[in-house]
Amino acid sequence: MDDYNRYVTAVNKIYDYLEKMKAGWNNMDNKNYIDNIDDYKSIVTSRAEEFKLPRTVQVEKTENLEEEVEEETPEDQHRQQPPPPPMPSQGGYAGGTTVSVGNRNLDVPGLPASFVPSDIQPRVPVSEGLVE
Amino acid sequence: MIDRLTYEQVLNVAKALRTEAEAVEEVAKAREIQEIVDFAASVESYAKFLENTVELNKDADKALEDLTGK
């Protein structure tokens, strides 16, 4: 039996039983209790058509997606780290500036303005400088 | 007897109401229709009320028997 038929059958039975109980009670409080459930009748009737539609997607799938987002691959961890500044000798800077070395002024393309010759760090061999 | 109904009749109605309410609740939860879920919960509460009422009346009958027996 599909959901719509199950729903309609169950609701009809419920209201049949409630009518029997209402006829059997003398106590007004007990009859009022049944009337409170009768107040749902309009809602129950109006929403009946929705049971002809297919069932909605379950929540479990979204939880799996959230778990996938939280997991970080080693590549993602590497990408999140700020890239190390390129060494001056590699010439990887954008722009250019003039550097005073001794008595000469050298125009060095691609060198940042903040570069100071005394700040040159010893060149790190490629094999030791790789960040994994 | 409770008014015009026997204990057995009331308990049978309570059991049937609970069964039908569970069926409604199942199909309503699958479609996330909260109003119908609330309706099913109300029906189950009423079924529980009927069962409690029967138990109370049975206890009252027993107490009355004990009193009249003394």
- The complex's ipTM works out to 0.89
The distance of B36 to chain A (nearest Cα, Å) reads 7
Which residues of chain A, if any, have pLDDT below 50? Answer: 57, 59-69, 86-95, 116-117, 119-122, 126, 128-132
pLDDT in tens, A76-103: 555 555 555 544 444 444 445 565 655 6
Best A2, A9, A11 member to test B by mutation, with max B CBs in 10 Å, is A11
- β-pair partners for A107: A98
Residue A89 near residue A123, CB atoms below 8 Å: yes
Q: Show which of residues 94-113 on chain A sit within 8 Å of chain B, judged by CB atoms.
A: none
The model carries a pTM of: 0.59
By the CB < 8 Å criterion, does B42 face chain A?
Answer: yes
Q: Using CA atoms, how far apart are residues A10 and B17, in angstroms rounded to an integer?
A: 9
